[in-house]
Amino acid sequence: MFIFTDMKIKKLYFALVFIFISFLNLHSKPYVIIVSFDGFRWDYLNRNITPNLNEILNDGVHALSLRPSFPSKTFPNHISILTGMYPDNHGIISNNIKNIFNGKRYRIGNNKSVTEPEWYQGEFFWETAERNGIKTASYFWPGSEISDTLRSPNKVKPYEHNFPFINRIDTVVSWLKLPIQERPQFITLYFHETDSKGHDFGTESDEINEAIALVDSLAGYLFKQIQELPIKDSVNILFVSDHGMQNIDKNKIVNVEELISQYKYDLVDSGPLMQIFPNSENDKENIYAELKRNEKHFKAYLKNELPDYYHFGKHPLIAPIVLIADYEAYLVNNRISKRNYDLSAATHGYAKDHINMHGIFIANGPAFNKGMKTGTIWNIDIYPLLCELFKITPRSNIDGKIDRIRFILNNE
């Protein structure tokens, strides 16, 4: 026989209230999937080969373009999207970084360096979310494989370049079918196809059009799978890209090493951005003077003299001398030159204000306005947008501003 005292009744009452509130919290939070189509240029949507994305954007929010941060490269911009910070502040200043203090290198494609927490100085949205009790998952995203489990998503898929695209989507959908206590509410998903084909064949090729059509079909497949879920009315999807793409003018290729061969230095990177680490202060002065005398198809800057509009130059790992190629130009070293300038057909990394460096932004779901077209959105504003969606407080040190992007949200 059970005897219920007042104390037991109170404890039972509070336990039931706690369970009820927890249940409401689980059901009241939205679901957000952010999908990146790497290198999907802002105007690829205008080629009449993207029926699925066009249907999705017509029912949601479509920005004219998504402005990247400088340099308009893959890792820096994926991380700007999910930290709300310029590369100068989140630390991934390029796809290839040299730490002059300890000699370590960060390179995309290097499975060890991309997992090392020391490189990532911003807080990813999945970190902010998990601190607020929101479960997260990543099916590929630069930075998601960070080895510090306190900083990684709850579920992480290590990057496999050739892993079938449909299987990626099927896994994401399976996550959304998990029991509610295990189900992630924020998910990232990544596809490389438009970037790869843009680099290899150029922005006007049949191959890039095939890649555009392919990722459009993936968007349609994902959207259809979401519509078949019981939680479909709670799911928001964002389609973004990290940067655009521009064909290279082979008449604007500059071998930088030919200009400064008499000095001692270390070069980092090639393409639209190159950094030079002189061996001495004397070498620095001479190299800079020589580059300024031969400044054709590029601009040479001392680190502390980079124009403010780049938001680039304060981070301690940026080289003393920075070269920025003119639009369509390409900076190379002797190694690339010896391969007879065996370059990609197209590239990215140029200043963020060149429109062909811009990507796409499409948002669809209950949190967003319907049938809204707007101007250019900045990628650093997506992190505070995500915080607003989940009603959580963003980090105070970000560069993004919710006031620039809040208007796309459905306030009903």
Given the residues 74, 83, 128, 188, the one annotated as active site: 74
Residue 371 CB: number of other CB atoms within 10 A? 10
Tell me the three state secondary structure of residue 202. Answer: coil
C-alpha–C-alpha distance, residues 259 and 256, integer Å = 5
Question: What angle in degrees, to the nearest 10, is found between the helix axes of 74-83 and 382-390?
Answer: 30
For 16, counting Cβ atoms within 10 Å of its Cβ (0-12 exposed, 13-18 middle, 19+ buried), the class is exposed
Question: What angle in degrees, to the nearest 10, is found between the helix axes of 51-58 and 206-227?
Answer: 50
On whether the CB atoms of residues 187 and 137 are closer than 8 A, the answer is yes
On whether the CB atoms of residues 358 and 42 are closer than 8 A, the answer is yes
On whether the CB atoms of residues 400 and 358 are closer than 8 A, the answer is no
C-alpha–C-alpha distance, residues 403 and 2, integer Å = 58
Q: Which of 127, 138, 92, 117 is nearest to 393 (CA)?
A: 127
- Our measurement of the distance from residue 371's CA atom to the centroid of its chain's CA atoms, rounded to an integer in Å, reads 25
Identify whether 393 is a catalytic site residue.
no
Residues involved in catalysis: 74
